[in-house]
Chain A
Amino acid sequence: SQTIHQWPATLVQPVGSPLSLECTVEGTSNPNLYWYRQAAGRGLQLLFYSVGIGQISSEVPQNLSASRPQDRQFILSSKKLLLSDSGFYLCAWTGGYGYGYTFGSGTRLTVV
C-alpha cells in the first residue's frame, strides 16, 4: 500500500534562518507531488507541485522554493524565513487523473 511521510512534525525557527521540510512517498512510482500551506484561520493554499523529477511549478511567488531530487521525494526550502512563513505545511500526492489525493500528517512551522 502507498504511504506518505512528512517530517518534522513541528518546527520553531528564528526569522532569517533556513528551512528544509521533507516528504517521501512509498509504494508508488511517478506520483504527482504537492506542497500546501494552511495559515491560521485560512484555507489551504497550493504552493508547489511536481509531475516528475526536477519538474517544479510554483503557484504563488514567495520566499519558498521546492525541489524533487528523486521520484518519490519532495523538499520544501527557504534560505531565510520570514514571520509570514509560519503555518501548517502539508505534502500530498496523487497517482494522476481519476485518483484521489493523499495528504501527509503535516509540519507545524512557527517562525519567531
Chain B
Amino acid sequence: KQEVTQIPAALSVPEGENLVLNCSFTDSAIYNLQWFRQDPGKGLTSLLLIQSSQREQTSGRLNASLDKSSGRSTLYIAASQPGDSATYLCAVSKNAGGTSYGKLTFGQGTILTVHP
C-alpha cells in the first residue's frame, strides 16, 4: 500500500525566504507526482506535475524535483510571499492494475504561513 509523507507538517517563515517542502513515498512504482495548493475552504489547484521519467519541473518561483528510486520529491519556493500561504499537498499516482488504477494517494500536507 502506497504511503505518502510530507515534512514539515507546518512551516512559518518571513516574507522573502526561500523554502523547501519535502514529500516521500513508499512505493517507487509511480506514474506521476503532482504538487497541489489548497487555500482554506477551497479546492485543489495544481502547481506542478512531474512524470516518472522526469527529474524536475519549474513554474515561476516554484521548482519541484523527483527522485523516484529513493521515493522523494521536493518543492522549492523562491522568494516567498504572503500570498503563498496555503496548504501544499503532494500526491502520487500508481501504475495500472486493479483497484490502484489511476488513483492519487495524497500526503497530509504542509501548512505554509508566510508573514510580512
Smallest CB separation, A18 vs chain B (Å)? 24
- A46 interface residue per 8 A CB criterion: yes
Complex Cα distance A104/B38, Å?
A: 12
Q: Are A57 and B104 in contact (CB under 8 A)?
A: no
Smallest CB separation, B13 vs chain A (Å)? 23
Of the candidates A44, A92, A97, A102, the one whose C-beta lies within 8 Å of that of B96 is A97
Q: Are B107 and A34 in contact (CB under 8 A)?
A: no
- A51 interface residue per 8 A CB criterion: yes
- A98 interface residue per 8 A CB criterion: yes
Interface size on B, residues (CB 8 A): 25
Complex Cα distance A108/B43, Å?
A: 10
Smallest CB separation, A101 vs chain B (Å)? 6
Contacts of A51 in B (CB 8 A): 101-102
- B44 interface residue per 8 A CB criterion: yes
Q: Are B103 and A44 in contact (CB under 8 A)?
A: no
Contacts of B42 in A (CB 8 A): 105-106
Contacts of A106 in B (CB 8 A): 42-43
Q: Are A57 and B101 in contact (CB under 8 A)?
A: yes
Which 10 A-B residue pairings sit nearest by Cβ, starting from the closest? A100-B49, A103-B44, A105-B43, A106-B43, A44-B106, A103-B43, A43-B108, A46-B103, A43-B106, A100-B34
Interface residues of B (CB under 8 A from A): 31-32, 34, 36, 41-46, 49, 51, 89, 91, 93, 96, 99, 101-104, 106-109
Q: A51-B102, A59-B103, A97-B96 are in contact. List 19 more A-B contacts (CB 8 A).
A: A34-B104, A43-B107, A43-B109, A44-B89, A49-B101, A59-B99, A90-B43, A92-B44, A92-B104, A96-B102, A97-B32, A97-B102, A99-B32, A100-B32, A101-B34, A103-B45, A103-B46, A105-B42, A106-B43
